[in-house]
Amino acid sequence: MGGLKKIKMPRKIPFIGHLWLFLDNKTFSRMDEIAEKYDSLYQLVFPTTQFYVVYSNELTADVCDTKKFSKVVDSGLDEIRALSGDGLFTARNDEKNWSLANQILKPAFSMKLMKNYIPVMDGIAREMNKNISSRAGQAIDVSGLMTAMTMETIGQCGFCEGFDSFEHAGDHPFVKAMIRSLSIAMVKSRLLPFHKKMKLFDNRKFNNDRKYMNQFVDQIIEQRQNTTAEHPDLLDRMLHDTNKDGDKLDHENIRYQLLTFLIAGHETTAGLLGFCLYLLSRNPQVLDKARLEVDEVFDTIGDNPLALGNMSQFKYLSQVLKETQRLYPTAPGFLVASETDQVIGGKYMIPAGQTCYVHLYRLHRDPAVWGNNAEEFIPERFSPENANKIPTSAYRPFGNGKRSCTGQNFAVLESTITLAYILRDYLFKGDPNYRLQIEETMTIKPVNFFLQFENRTRKKLTEVA
């Protein structure tokens, strides 16, 4: 083995290190700008913390080796943890409730049980389309619409309650509290400890929102505990299912899991659909091909709701969604660390306990894997023949190992169904002068992106032929 190589970093300022580069809350885009200057890895140093940013296929393979590295819950995630406690997403690896919840919720999110949610998602997609039709010809804010759709879906699949999202987008006090507290959590995660205490007004708002959200969810759980009626939702699974030893989740943890689904599951899927519609509006050949497939599927079922069997018929749609997540991974990165010193890529030393941020946005554009047209939207990269050739560490939109996304099946079903109904019922166009603007919170999503929808009647392919 050759000698170790020094890990590069941007210019530091005494005492504050690289904080000066991140004063404008543009963490993700600033990290990406810096990534363009180095080839696979760099280091960032702040007064109270430091970490390594990793984004080549080769180095990602090493930090995703779960025998060496595992997820850390610190910096950004610590602030979210104030809201979602020891729910799956923010629990630490060694917490008892993580393994218990993992044992109970992995089966609850398996395709076998997820198929029960297809009719619910189908109904929400139709409800969404009624809303779109009522605004046909007007410019519709795509991220707002998709956020309404995902909040509604988690509410209904999680605990059989909607937020009336399409009629009153974002007006529900719970939705408001959630969005406000998440944004405060994100700002706080970037501040120095003393600065956090100075933000008294924000802290008070944050605590009020947190209490309100806990009460809201607790009330739903209590109501459910007082009834013998069965509900086809995730809450019933959490109240009744056990692990092999017969252990159940307690009330407080169930509350944190429901908050977790709402936090981890609404922005991510909404952003995915937003970026997808953006890319489709800019790539008419892809859009035509996807729409042809959608028409073929609906041709076989008429106006019946979609069923599990139809999901595998959306082959090209699935490639479109995967390619969207390559270019715009809406969870744009994740954090890992090792308990011992590790050399990655055969030459870079990551000391014990130091955090690596896997920067998915840049990883997914690594020319060594995706070629010189890595920036282009080409769903054929994920065709059955081509997909086999993609190295596993080169594409990780749902994270890694045992801490990867619990809601993957849920998100894939939800986005496939929503997209299918939009393509079935509408032609859409955006402003050709719009330049993509990305808003970053914990996730990334397009902002100020509007589409005009026009009703279309599906061509019956059998009649055409």
- Region from 42-50, 129-137, 338-346, 405-413 binding ligand MNH, contact rule CB under 6 A: 405-413
- Nearest distance in Å: CB 73, ligand MNH: 8
User: Residue 81 interacts with ligand MNH (CB under 6 A)?
Assistant: no
Query: What sign results for the dihedral spanned by CA atoms 18, 23, 27, 29?
Result: negative
User: Residue 317 interacts with ligand MNH (CB under 6 A)?
Assistant: no
261 neighbors 407 (Cβ within 8 angstroms)? yes
Output the residue with the shortest Cβ distance to ligand MNH. 407
User: Residue 406 interacts with ligand MNH (CB under 6 A)?
Assistant: yes
In the list 40, 147, 253, 260, the residue contacting ligand MNH (rule: CB under 6 A) is: 260
User: Residue 274 interacts with ligand MNH (CB under 6 A)?
Assistant: no
Task: Quote the distance between the C-alpha of residue 136 and its chain's center.
Answer: 28
- For ligand MNH, which is the closer residue by CB, 265 or 446? 265
In the list 399, 416, 418, 438, the residue contacting ligand MNH (rule: CB under 6 A) is: 399
What whole-number distance in Å separates Cα of residue 206 and Cα of residue 178? 10
Closest by alpha carbon to 411, among 88, 111, 129?
A: 111
User: Residue 337 interacts with ligand MNH (CB under 6 A)?
Assistant: no
User: Residue 410 interacts with ligand MNH (CB under 6 A)?
Assistant: yes
In the list 85, 155, 397, 446, the residue contacting ligand MNH (rule: CB under 6 A) is: 397
442 neighbors 80 (Cβ within 8 angstroms)? yes
In the list 17, 76, 162, 265, the residue contacting ligand MNH (rule: CB under 6 A) is: 265
Q: What is the dihedral of CA 393, 395, 397, 403, to 10 degrees?
A: -20
Pairing of strands 50-54, 355-359: parallel
- Region from 14-22, 49-57, 174-182, 256-264 binding ligand MNH, contact rule CB under 6 A: 256-264
180 CB contacts (<8 Å, ≥6 apart)?
205, 209
What whole-number distance in Å separates Cα of residue 210 and Cα of residue 205? 8
Write out the catalytic residue numbers. 268, 398, 405
The site string for ligand MNH over 275-304 (x = CB under 6 A, - otherwise) reads: ------------------------------
The site string for ligand MNH over 133-172 (x = CB under 6 A, - otherwise) reads: ---------------------x------------------
Q: Give Cα separations from 94 to 77, 98, 169, 351 (angstroms).
A: 16, 7, 39, 21
332 sits in which H/E element: none
- Nearest distance in Å: CB 405, ligand MNH: 3
Helix (H/G/I), strand (E/B), else coil: 310: helix
Query: What sign results for the dihedral spanned by CA atoms 412, 414, 417, 419?
Result: negative
- Nearest distance in Å: CB 358, ligand MNH: 8
What whole-number distance in Å separates Cα of residue 191 and Cα of residue 203? 13
463 C-beta neighbours (distance < 10 Å), count: 7
- Region from 171-179, 340-348, 362-370, 392-400 binding ligand MNH, contact rule CB under 6 A: 392-400
What whole-number distance in Å separates Cα of residue 58 and Cα of residue 40? 9
In the list 334, 348, 395, 453, the residue contacting ligand MNH (rule: CB under 6 A) is: 334
Closest by alpha carbon to 265, among 58, 412, 463?
A: 412
User: Residue 28 interacts with ligand MNH (CB under 6 A)?
Assistant: no
User: Residue 178 interacts with ligand MNH (CB under 6 A)?
Assistant: no
Question: Which residues would be at the binding site for ligand MNH (CB under 6 A)?
Answer: 71, 88-89, 102, 154, 260-261, 264-265, 268-269, 272, 330-331, 334, 397-399, 403-407, 410-411
